[in-house]
């Protein structure tokens, strides 16, 4: 269980950590799945893949709006 789950306290570093983890997740999904030939063959699967990547990128941007450590 993480510190967030046990004590509920969020510090500014948690936002940067979530940004980093979201970026890593998006990069990994793109690296591992993006060039897969099955996606190229089936447009409905490609659409789902793109939805996943878009969702992670949207999450990254949304978390960035909450991160005040750079302001």
Angle in degrees, CA 44, 50, 53, rounded to 5: 150
Q: What is the mean pLDDT of residues 34-46?
A: 97
Report phi then psi at 70, rounded to 5.
-95, -5
With residue 60 as reference, give the H or E element that holds it: helix 43-66
Higher confidence at residue 68 or residue 41? 41
Q: What is the mean pLDDT of residues 11-33?
A: 96
Domain ranges of the chain: 11-66
Angle in degrees, CA 28, 30, 34, rounded to 5: 140
Confidence of residue 4 (pLDDT cuts 50, 70, 90): low
pTM (global) more than 0.75: yes
Tally: H helices and E strands in the chain: 4, 0
Instruction: Quote the mean pLDDT of the chain.
Output: 90
Evaluate if residue 38 carries a pLDDT over 80. Answer: yes
């Amino acid at each position: 269980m993480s510190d967030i789950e046990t004590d509920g306290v969020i510090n500014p570093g948690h936002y940067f950590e979530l940004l980093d983890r979201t970026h890593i997740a998006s990069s990994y999904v793109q690296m591992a799945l993006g060039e897969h030939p099955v996606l190229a063959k089936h447009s409905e699967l490609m659409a789902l893949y793109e939805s996943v990547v878009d969702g992670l990128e949207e999450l990254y941007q949304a978390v960035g709006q909450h991160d005040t450590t750079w302001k």
